[in-house]
Amino acid sequence: MTRSSPGLPRLVYFGTPAMAVPPLEALVAAGFAVSCVVTRIDKRRGRGGELVPSPVKAAALRLGLRVVHSVDEAIVVARSSGAELGVVVAFGQLIKPDALAAPVERALLAGDTLTGVCLMQLDEGLDTGPIHAVVEVPIGADETGASLRSRLVEVGTALLVDQLTVGLAAPVGQVGDATYAGKLAPSDLRLDWLRPAVERHRIVRLGGAWTTLRGKRLKVLEADLVDPAGSGDTLDGDLAGGLRLRVVQPEGRAAMQFAAFSNGARLMPGEPLGRD
């Protein structure tokens, strides 16, 4: 069993998605001993039904850490190893200083210019515990969901390691009522060409935006905002409703530049979008 560097607490780590891998790797690199890693059970993937571990489990095994799949198992390991602290890493929701809980996706869709990461003490409620530390993260005007997630992981990892190294500050209770945003449905990512272009641009930046053209689904992967207030559901070259389409993915095909798609499909001016 490994030991933490002098003065550092022994940990039990909870996490599953890829976003939770960098914090685990950073904690181990910083000298923290991890008694066990708690993550979901392996899932069957692909045509062959092969069991695939979660990204966190794969990283834990590579780091030589013990992996368990239930809180009951984690409690037994924690007691026998003398673990002092449980670390739960969940980047799906961000707690702002005003106690508004908002996933990355909802922050982008709302046009927020500021989000952040925090270290929060868990309690019986959902995201209602007191907060140890907060770092605000600005959202760029053209920032994508992928780039924002990456920056949040980087900032959150540094905050976690720094705070656990020097010792957690006294937690401060949240003020006000938290607002929770539900998961996005495919319909939330459909581009409504009669809405202002700035709203559709946010969906494109988020990732997964789609529309229809000639009865088939067309994903819009990249677009430039030309006229924030623009609207309209017909094509004029690479322009549509205040957006300039740059990269698209036709149904059943690979992503491509819109110009190449337009030439291959022989698109005509005035062709309608999203009416199917």
Q: Are residues 62 and 17 in the same domain?
A: yes
**Which of these three, 135, 165, 183, is where a domain ends?**
183
Q: Are residues 96 and 78 in the same domain?
A: no
Identify whether 261 is part of a domain. yes
**Which of these three, 148, 183, 218, is where a domain ends?**
183
Q: Are residues 5 and 74 in the same domain?
A: yes
DSSP label at residue 177 = -
Largest CA distance in the chain: 71
CA torsion sign for 206, 207, 208, 214 is: positive
**Count of CB atoms situated within 10 Å of the CB of 198:** 15
Structure-derived torsion over alpha carbons of residues 161, 162, 166, 170, reported in degrees to the nearest 10: -90
Which region among 75-84, 106-115, 235-244 has the lowest average model confidence (pLDDT)?
106-115
**Please, what is the average pLDDT of the chain?**
89
Q: What span, in angstroms and rounded, lies between the C-alpha atoms of 79 and 175? A: 34
Average pLDDT of 101-124?
82
Higher per-residue confidence, 29 vs 175: 29
pLDDT-derived band at 274, boundaries 50, 70, 90: very high
Tell me the pLDDT tens digit for each residue of 212-267: 999 999 999 999 999 999 999 999 999 999 999 999 999 999 999 999 999 999 99
Identify whether 270 is part of a domain. no
Tell me the pLDDT tens digit for each residue of 158-200: 999 999 999 988 999 887 666 666 778 899 999 999 999 999 9
**Which of these three, 150, 183, 216, is where a domain ends?**
183
User: Domain of 200: which CATH number?
Assistant: 3.10.25.10
Instruction: Give the number of residues written for the chain.
Output: 276
Identify whether 61 is part of a domain. yes
Total number of domains in the chain: 3
Q: Are residues 40 and 114 in the same domain?
A: no
Tell me the pLDDT tens digit for each residue of 6-17: 678 999 999 999
Predicted local confidence at residue 260, as pLDDT: 97
Residues of the chain above pLDDT 90, percent: 71
Note down the domain range covering 179: 91-183
